[in-house]
Structure 1
């Protein structure tokens, strides 16, 4: 695993459209592992590949608190296929916009489809 450089605003690469991946192979798994290590080192709870200047549809998330064991999620080609009408507001930050936090309104629940790190189709209902 390797730490990657997180690009920050106003870097125009952050606005690039990320491409879907055709398959999940060892190079994709290495990139996912690099992303997770980079995100934990930052520290953060989520990171998209575009934030390390890789314009592919990959996202890593770990919501575990500092004293808890890691709970990594790896998303390849994620798609939100449903979102609730109910809304929630949380304060959020972004590793590509350092030291900036803002309240953000989002759907209270979403259903996502994605491939896991083994390339198997998955579906997740997430709340909060």
Structure 2
């Protein structure tokens, strides 16, 4: 079976999964590797994509919907049906590029909060696709950033943990009703 998961890129009034928000403990638990890629995993990925499109996102990790499995869905071209989304199961970073860049990030688990985060410009990862086939991808730009952002979720890390401008972080979180107590600053890990 080599068919790709086909999901209509549209908003649903009632998305199948609930997205948890900053402050929910479920977001801080590390995800477990997927032992077997089967129909249950494909169904979860399908529902994650439906939920992501419904929330106007370009990436979603299973822990954000309360599932502690290493599954990520990404679509940097949500307006273009001809570009299929990426489904990454058990992703592992093989290599970071040397160049770092700052860019604004947001997160479906922290609605309306956008802040600058420094990350490697390029990343190479290995993963399994929705059919359990091993793959490798080199990504730059927005795709690289989205992959790194979603992979952080698999380790219980959120993008606000990487924000270096603490004043902007505090202002943005308070403005949108989030507690700075929910942030767990981390040192860079590349």
Out of 46, 49, 52, the residue aligned to residue 62 of structure 2 is 49
Which is greater in Rg? Answer: 2
Note the alpha carbon deviations across 1:52-111, whole angstroms, 9 max, x for none.
000110000000053x22430000000111001101221110000111000111101000
CA contact (8 A) 1:35 1:60 kept: yes
Aligned to 2:117, what secondary structure does the other structure show?
strand
- What corresponds to 1:3 in structure 2? 16
Which of the two has greater strand per residue? Answer: 1
Aligned length: 127
2:138 — aligned with what?
Answer: 125
8 Å CA contact 1:94, 1:100 repeated in 2:
yes
Provide the C-alpha distance between the structure 1 equivalents of 2:130 and 2:78, rounded to a whole number of angstroms. Answer: 23
TM-score, structure 1 length as denominator?
A: 0.95
Q: CA RMSD in A?
A: 1.3
Consecutive unaligned residues in structure 2, runs of 5 or more:
1-6, 8-14, 142-190
Structure 1 stretches (4+) deviating beyond 2 angstroms? none
Whichever structure has more helix as a proportion of its residues is 2
Report if aligned partners of 1:63, 1:71 keep a CA contact under 8 Å in 2.
Answer: no
Residue of structure 2 aligned with 1:31, choices 26, 41, 44: 44
1:19 equivalent in structure 2: 32
